[in-house]
């Protein structure tokens, strides 16, 4: 026999009160009984029986006689609950239809926006660092970052987390503005994180190519996106394009900020007009090397007071950054070798600057240029004192 307590609890889930459920189950099991008998068998207080019966009658679950003593009879379950069951079925069907329509509207909205974001929510400024640290720790394959001064400062506060993921051999690449090279934040970033410099105007952190954290440097607030669609693809493509042409900074890691910034300025200037300047002045000047040397001075970069070793150190760093090359000074043979992994004249502007510095310090120079299509180019500068 079915447990009456189980039936009572089940009826409560249909919206009946505890007393209403007890009364109905008792009437089903006992048949027609008086109000007094119902109170006895259902364990409902006598003062509550009649109000309970009236409520059940209004719900069309019982019939109350007009005779005295009052007799009450339960409506058969298949008749009493048929309407309720159909009402519940209609509600479920309506809910399914609503969910389908909402889903369709959501999909159409995402398509009209051009992206399908699975999650998007804002972060207050005081929670950004903790969130950034959590996302770094949770990365599994790669972290790619584009930051301005504000974002780079936040990244510097994540040194421990960066060290932890570097021990898991994660690929971490960071793009910063050249003004940050040599700064305190720059020195706080651990070895193993590859940093390059370019013109960056946003703070975008890309984790595992799918999750993005973007930060507004004006107010410090952030937003997290979880996406494999348009937004993520566009940010990845933007990062890759900038990274390919960005300036390497490894050679500047041990320099002071002043030294590093000076080299960044020289590279920018020569990249913009160095080779074309050499070609143009070589047609009108007997010493084009001195002309490019003077060009630097006109733009606020003076190398006159530098020692030969100091100048070689600068050009060596420049060669590492611009063409994966080196500058070697061989004291025994009185020669300087400038090597570049790239050919087609990439080293010529830097050789000209070095040559100009040597001539300015009273050295005679003789330059020998070698070009190898597969190994790059090599320039030997033979020097002797006037």
Could you state, in chain order, the average pLDDT of each consecutive group of 10 residues for the chain (386 residues)? 69 81 89 88 89 89 85 86 77 82 72 51 84 92 92 93 93 93 91 91 88 87 74 83 90 87 85 60 56 75 81 88 88 87 77 82 86 81 84
Q: What is the pLDDT of residue 225?
A: 81
Q: What is the pLDDT of residue 275?
A: 54
Q: What is the pLDDT of residue 134?
A: 92
Cβ contact 19:3 at 8 Å: no
CA distance 257 to 179: 9
Q: Dihedral of the CA atoms 109, 113, 117, 122 (nearest 10)?
A: -100
Q: What is the pLDDT of residue 135?
A: 92
Other Cβ atoms closer than 10 A to 68: 7
Give the domain ranges of the chain: 4-79, 81-110, 119-248, 252-385
Cβ contact 249:332 at 8 Å: no
Q: What is the pLDDT of residue 195?
A: 95
Q: What is the pLDDT of residue 146?
A: 94
Q: What is the pLDDT of residue 288?
A: 58
Report the CATH architecture of 4-79. Answer: Orthogonal Bundle (1.10)
Candidates 3.40.50, 1.10.3470, 3.30.1380, 1.10.10; CATH matching 252-385: 3.30.1380
Report the CATH architecture of 119-248. Answer: 2-Layer Sandwich (3.30)
């Amino acid at each position: 026999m079915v447990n009456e307590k189980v039936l009572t609890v089940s009826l409560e889930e249909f919206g009946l009160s505890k007393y209403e459920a007890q009364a109905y189950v008792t009437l089903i099991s006992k048949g027609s009984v008086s109000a007094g008998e119902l109170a006895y068998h259902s364990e409902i207080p006598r003062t509550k029986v009649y109000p309970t019966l009236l409520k059940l009658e209004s719900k069309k679950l019982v019939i109350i006689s007009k005779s005295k003593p009052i007799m009450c009879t339960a409506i058969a379950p298949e008749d009493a609950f048929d309407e309720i069951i159909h009402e519940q079925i209609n509600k479920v069907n309506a809910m399914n239809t609503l969910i389908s329509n909402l889903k369709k509207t959501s999909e159409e909205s995402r398509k009209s926006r051009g992206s399908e974001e699975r999650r998007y929510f804002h972060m207050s400024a005081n929670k950004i660092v903790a969130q950034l640290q959590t996302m770094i720790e949770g990365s599994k394959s790669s972290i790619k970052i584009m930051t301005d001064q504000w974002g780079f400062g936040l990244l510097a506060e994540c040194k421990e987390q960066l060290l932890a993921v570097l021990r898991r051999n994660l690929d971490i690449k960071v793009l910063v503005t050249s003004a940050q090279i040599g700064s305190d934040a720059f020195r706080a970033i651990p070895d193993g994180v590859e940093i390059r410099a370019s013109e960056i105007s946003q703070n975008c952190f890309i984790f595992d190519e799918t999750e993005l954290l973007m930060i507004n440097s004006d107010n410090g607030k952030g937003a997290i996106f979880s996406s494999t669609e348009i937004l993520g693809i566009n940010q990845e493509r933007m990062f890759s394009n900038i990274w390919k042409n960005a300036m390497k900074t490894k050679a500047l890691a041990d320099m002071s900020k002043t030294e590093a910034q000076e080299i960044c300025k020289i590279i920018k200037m020569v990249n913009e007009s160095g080779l074309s300047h050499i070609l143009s002045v070589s047609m009108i000047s007997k010493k084009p090397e001195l002309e490019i040397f003077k060009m630097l001075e006109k733009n606020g970069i003076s190398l006159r007071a530098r020692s030969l070793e100091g100048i070689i150190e600068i050009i060596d760093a420049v060669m590492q950054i611009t063409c994966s090359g080196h500058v070697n000074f061989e004291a025994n043979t009185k020669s300087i070798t400038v090597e570049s992994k790239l050919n087609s004249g990439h080293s010529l502007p830097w050789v000209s600057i070095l040559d100009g510095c040597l001539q300015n310090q009273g050295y005679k120079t003789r330059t020998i240029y070698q070009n190898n299509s597969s190994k790059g180019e090599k320039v030997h500068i033979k020097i002797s004192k006037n």
